[in-house]
Amino acid sequence: MPDMNWDDLRYLIALNRRGSFAAASAELGQDETTVARRVRRLEHALSAQLLFRDAVGKQRLTELAERLVAHALHMETETRHMAELAGMDQRRLTGTVRVTAVPVVVDRILVPAFRGFQQCYPDITLELVPEGRNLSLTRREADLALRLGPPKTGGADTLAQRIGWLEFGLYRSPITTTPDEPPQWVLYDTAHAYLEQAKWMSAQSDQHSVATLRVADLNTAIEAVANGLGQSLLPIAACQNDTRLRQIGTLPVPDTPRRPVWLLSHRDQSHLKAIQAVKDWLSNISWGASVQIKDYS
């Protein structure tokens, strides 16, 4: 049997993580032909099939391939650990950490707060992934995940901690006029009516209120309010520095909903110093009325 090239496992990991040759090639910066060739070379070295097509024609990993990926992910983590050790020997904490969260959290909370982290850890690269769906930590689609609710998947390999509460306030635009008629509301569509802020607004907006616009996510709601299309319940931490918005009253009040912020990580990566540094940073962001970063130096 030819010697196995361990570097070929990176291609199998990317294929498992991304689910297609096209997506894996984008992650690796290679064309699809190269990805397919490297996986075939690995199959030849192992004298075993690693891929098969399912009933709908999609490429899937065989049971052997899944076992190989599980071991390869451990190798990937240890490689990152060795790189960290080399950096720490030069008194530098290095590495790349991939963080995923819903777009409003990434765009309006993490990005404005990043400069403070960067000043403390200039050699750590942070990859921010705004994503509505839950990326898999097990497949290493992300190293850390922020979710506005307790985790439902991941099992014993996923570490979860609640790091704060995302508080909401009622906002409208300063350009909005207030004629003697019921205020317009920016509400949620039927598919997202289960959200706590959606239920609160439905209860507040009676039959005399007007709702001509319904949205599916917070970023769209914020832009709608900023453009004077109505009032809506929005996260304070994401809106307090937006001059296009004006908070109505002194919310939050006791009955105003708030969403728990959960930080998820993978148990196998808990010893990586770069990941721990990012976890500490995320844990110390104020998710309520002010986005402040503590001094980590």
Q: Which two tokens stand for residue 134?
A: 């839950």
Instruction: Please give the distance of CA 261 from its chain centroid, rounded to a whole number.
Output: 12
Higher pLDDT among residues 49 and 54, named by residue: 49
Return mean pLDDT, the chain: 82
Indicate where the chain has its CATH 3.40.190.290 domain(s): 96-297
Which tokens go with 44? 């030849």
Round to whole Å and give the CA distance between 148 and 259. Answer: 6
Helical packing angle, 32-46 and 8-18, nearest 10°: 120
What's the pLDDT band for 137 if we cut at 50, 70, 90? confident
Fold that domain 96-297 belongs to in CATH: D-Maltodextrin-Binding Protein; domain 2 (3.40.190)
pTM for the predicted model, two decimal places:
0.71
> CA–CA separation, 88 vs 271, rounded Å?
14
Q: Which of 35-49, 175-189, 220-234 has the lowest mean pLDDT?
A: 175-189
CATH 1.10.10.10 location in the chain: 8-68
User: In this predicted structure, what is the pLDDT of residue 57?
Assistant: 72
Burial of 152 (0-12, 13-18, 19+ CB in 10 A): exposed
Phi/psi-derived region of residue 47, left when phi > 0, alpha when psi is between -120 and 50, beta in every other case: left
CATH fold group of domain 8-68: Arc Repressor Mutant, subunit A (1.10.10)
Angle between helices 21-28 and 32-46 (to 10 degrees): 100
* Most confident stretch, 59-73, 110-124, 138-152, 277-291: 110-124
CB 170 within 8 A of CB 185: no
Q: How far is CA 161 from CA 95, 148, 180, 218, in A?
A: 23, 12, 47, 23
Rg of the chain (C-alpha set): 23
Q: And the tokens for 216?
A: 């599916």
Q: What is the pLDDT of residues 91-127, one digit of tens each?
A: 578 888 999 999 999 999 999 999 999 999 999 999 9
DSSP 52-116: EE-TTS-EEE-HHHHHHHHHHHHHHHHHHHHHHHHHHHTT---EEEEEEE-HHHIIIIIHHHHHH
